[in-house]
Structure 1
Amino acid sequence: MTDMPIDTAPRPDTSRSLWATAMLRLKRNKAAMASIVVLIVLAIAGAFGPLVAPHSYSEVYPEFVKVRPSLQPYPQAEQVIPAAESALRRARVDLGGIEVEDGKVRIPVSSDSRDLDPRISRYLDRSDVFSNAELTIDAADPKKGMMEASVQELYFIMGTDANGRDLFSRILISLRISLMIGALATAVALVIGVAYGATAGFVGGRIDNVMMRFVDVMYSLPFVFFVILLVVFFGRNLVLMFLAVGAVEWLDMARITRGQTLSLRRREFVQAAEAMGVSSGSIIKRHIIPNTAGTVIIYMTLLIPKVILLESFLSFLGLGVQEPLTSLGVLISEGAKNMRNAPFMLFYPAATMTVLLFALNFLGDGLRDALDPKDR
């Protein structure tokens, strides 16, 4: 009789936790994974884009107002000579034939009444089009001279707004502001709503009734009127936007968490904790809130686009962020006013908002499917 070899190699554990299964299912959802990539790209663009953008979001170019998007540098060839004539109009000199060659402009200047002043070159330097202007006065006749300046090349790949500011840079800063408001206001709603709803659902009884009646009273208050009052008393600033939006959106979070808590409080592990003498606060913190995390995360991904839309609506009404800062709602509002003669001012912010909202909603749908225990 021969001894059979005993397999002592460790066998892989095939069981997976709920979160491991959810992550595996989320990775199989192509729309959700693509949305994660899009959100990461938009978040990086909003966080670091304004730092590396070719123009500041607040820099104004008066000579490039509502210029169309172009991959070619401004000013274009036909714009250089009119820009030079416009810049030297106040210099009170006569201009000869203007020549433009190799990024340089040469302008013969003369005066009939007085000698030329070298300081008139400052008129070109003050322009958005020219730089390093120099005036060479004719030694034989100080009333004549030659002015030379470099033509600056400015790129506006998404055009400029009604004030002459780079639209691309303003979209980048608006992404930062909108995402920051959406994330922080959602965090405020998450903290207040989860704590409030879990406490009301676990304690129950009269305390639950009183707490939920307070939620009903808050629901009856008109949101826009509430924000207008805050703006009147405290002024417009980003902190106010976080408080105003987060102080209203926690109501839905509280109701959802309360409903989940009511079903969890009858579970065996909660009853066992109560039998062991664990305090109510510890049960809520260690057992109730962690077991509502799946539903809360799903609702959070759907709440962020809702908050961004609310902020855009308030900015559209003029109650949002103040200049020179901007948000997607402010840009869309400005674009709507100029959509006839400058449709790109509306198209690019609206397209950015659409991509952002679609990505957040697809991610929310993917998380809902991944965390749904009925589909496991």
Structure 2
Amino acid sequence: MGRKPNETPEIPDDMFTPASPGIVTKAETSAAPLTFWQEAWRRLRKNKGALAGLITIVFLIVVSLIGPLFNEYSYSQQDLVRSNLPPKIAGLEWLGFDGTRSSGENTYEERGITANAWFGTDEFGRDLWTRLWKATQVSLFIGVVAAFLDLLIGVVYGGISAFYGGRLDNVMQRIIEVLVGIPNLIVIILFILIFEPGILSIILAMIITGWVGMARVVRGQILQLKGQEFILAARTLGTSNGKLIWKHLFPNVMGPIIITVMFTIPSAIFFEAFLSFIGLGLQPPLASLGVLIEDGYQSMRFFSYKLIFPAIVISALMISFNLLADGLRDALDPKMRR
């Protein structure tokens, strides 16, 4: 028999199948969604290179703080009897840390020295284990302080320039263009002529022009954000400028700011090492990684261990900070979210 035009067709029971036990339940779908920072941390943990960099940085910071405590010698203590001792570590003689030079000479036995020097000593008998970790502390301190000051000045300067715009923005950007044209090396030489070479003069020379990059990043981000709908809606509701900056604009530029800071720290460490290497940085007995590398370079033909250990530490710091910065850039980029 034919079916009438308005008659609903019958659906056989065999067309329906029961739901599988693995179907997502309501309880599972009602879980609280991840916040932006939780999602960023989850993506960062999946980046093996960035995680390895973070672990290495933490390890070097901890060792630099507690390392000198395991040695009875200070970083500036001189003892000419212990001058130019090769590395010697009890229990690790099979790895080459037996206090014997490549020529087969055992300086420890000849001088009647019983105490070990884990990384050897320099020409003045100063223990390189203690000096290396003190130097790491100084280099990290310079890098972190310089990055923090760049962050502070750059965020304030770039934020004001972009938020208020107009003639003020034009004037502030012309000032930046002038500062960009000043070479850092000339600035550090001028500061050395005014101040004595030291940590203060190096940090001041770095922040004279170092904050310019941060200011440009912040300015670009705020110019992009301040014309969007949520900012216009906040203005329409009568939100004050201060609240607009700290509650709406600033949190949305935190990602690029963090990434820029993570790239600034290794740049500052390398710049300090370069200045110390050419003799414009810290002066002995103060120690930094650049100072130790310069000392090791002078005698690397006969005492290569003086150069090897600080070179390994500064290379590990530079690589780790760059790996972490690359990982943060991917983790904080909304486009990378899956």
Normalised by the size of structure 2, how large is the TM-score?
0.83
The answer as to 2:130 corresponding to 1:156 is: no
Offset of residue 212 of structure 1:
0.8
Offset of residue 278 of structure 1:
2.6
**Counterpart for residue 71 of structure 2:** 53
Offset of residue 10 of structure 1:
9.2
8 Å contact from structure 2 (residues 132, 289) kept in 1? yes
8 Å contact from structure 2 (residues 159, 219) kept in 1? yes
The answer as to 2:130 corresponding to 1:169 is: yes
Equivalent of residue 42 in structure 1, options 60, 63, 67: 60
SS in 1 for 2:83: coil
8 Å contact from structure 2 (residues 49, 323) kept in 1? yes
Equivalent of residue 156 in structure 2, options 183, 195, 199: 195
In structure 1, distance between residues paired with 2:307 and 2:110: 29
Equivalent of residue 230 in structure 2, options 254, 257, 269: 269
**Counterpart for residue 97 of structure 1:** none
**Counterpart for residue 287 of structure 1:** 248
Q: Which one has the bigger strand percentage?
A: 1
**Counterpart for residue 267 of structure 2:** 306
**Counterpart for residue 147 of structure 1:** none
Offset of residue 281 of structure 1:
3.2
8 Å contact from structure 2 (residues 99, 108) kept in 1? no
**Counterpart for residue 46 of structure 2:** 28
Offset of residue 279 of structure 1:
2.9
**Counterpart for residue 184 of structure 1:** 145
In structure 2, distance between residues paired with 1:187 and 1:360: 15
Offset of residue 277 of structure 1:
2.6
CA deviation digits over 1:213-263, x for unaligned, max 9?
100100111211111111211222322322221232100000111110110
Offset of residue 8 of structure 1:
10
Equivalent of residue 237 in structure 1, options 180, 183, 198: 198
**Counterpart for residue 84 of structure 2:** 66
Equivalent of residue 322 in structure 2, options 351, 358, 361: 361
Change (3 A) 1:13 1:168: same
> Superposition pairs for residues 272-351 of structure 1, below 5 Å?
272-351=233-312
Offset of residue 12 of structure 1:
4.2
SS in 1 for 2:73: coil
Change (3 A) 1:174 1:338: same
**Counterpart for residue 182 of structure 2:** 221
Structure 1: which 5+ runs fail to align? 1-6, 84-128, 130-151
In structure 1, distance between residues paired with 2:235 and 2:324: 37
In structure 2, distance between residues paired with 1:59 and 1:371: 46
Q: Which one has the bigger helix percentage?
A: 2
> Superposition pairs for residues 112-131 of structure 1, below 5 Å?
none
8 Å contact from structure 1 (residues 301, 361) kept in 2? yes
Equivalent of residue 208 in structure 2, options 244, 247, 254: 247
Is 241-250 or 46-55 further displaced after alignment? 46-55
Partner amino acid for 1:17? Answer: T
Q: How many residues align?
A: 303
8 Å contact from structure 1 (residues 26, 33) kept in 2? yes
Percent identity reads: 38
Partner amino acid for 1:51? Answer: L
In structure 1, distance between residues paired with 2:108 and 2:116: 15
8 Å contact from structure 1 (residues 298, 367) kept in 2? yes
In structure 1, distance between residues paired with 2:106 and 2:41: 58
8 Å contact from structure 1 (residues 194, 289) kept in 2? no
Is 283-292 or 187-196 further displaced after alignment? 283-292
In structure 2, distance between residues paired with 1:271 and 1:343: 63
SS in 1 for 2:81: coil
> Rg: which structure is higher?
1
Change (3 A) 1:274 1:78: closer
Is 230-239 or 184-193 further displaced after alignment? 230-239
SS in 2 for 1:63: helix
Change (3 A) 1:289 1:81: closer
Query: Which structure 1 residue ranges, 4+ long, deviate > 3 Å from structure 2?
Result: 7-12, 72-83
**Counterpart for residue 205 of structure 1:** 166
8 Å contact from structure 1 (residues 74, 154) kept in 2? no
Offset of residue 82 of structure 1:
5.8
Change (3 A) 1:276 1:168: same
Is 244-253 or 279-288 further displaced after alignment? 279-288
Change (3 A) 1:344 1:81: closer
**Counterpart for residue 93 of structure 2:** none
In structure 1, distance between residues paired with 2:265 and 2:150: 10
In structure 1, distance between residues paired with 2:33 and 2:89: 55
In structure 1, distance between residues paired with 2:248 and 2:40: 20
Structure 2: which 5+ runs fail to align? 1-24, 91-97
Normalised by the size of structure 1, how large is the TM-score?
0.75
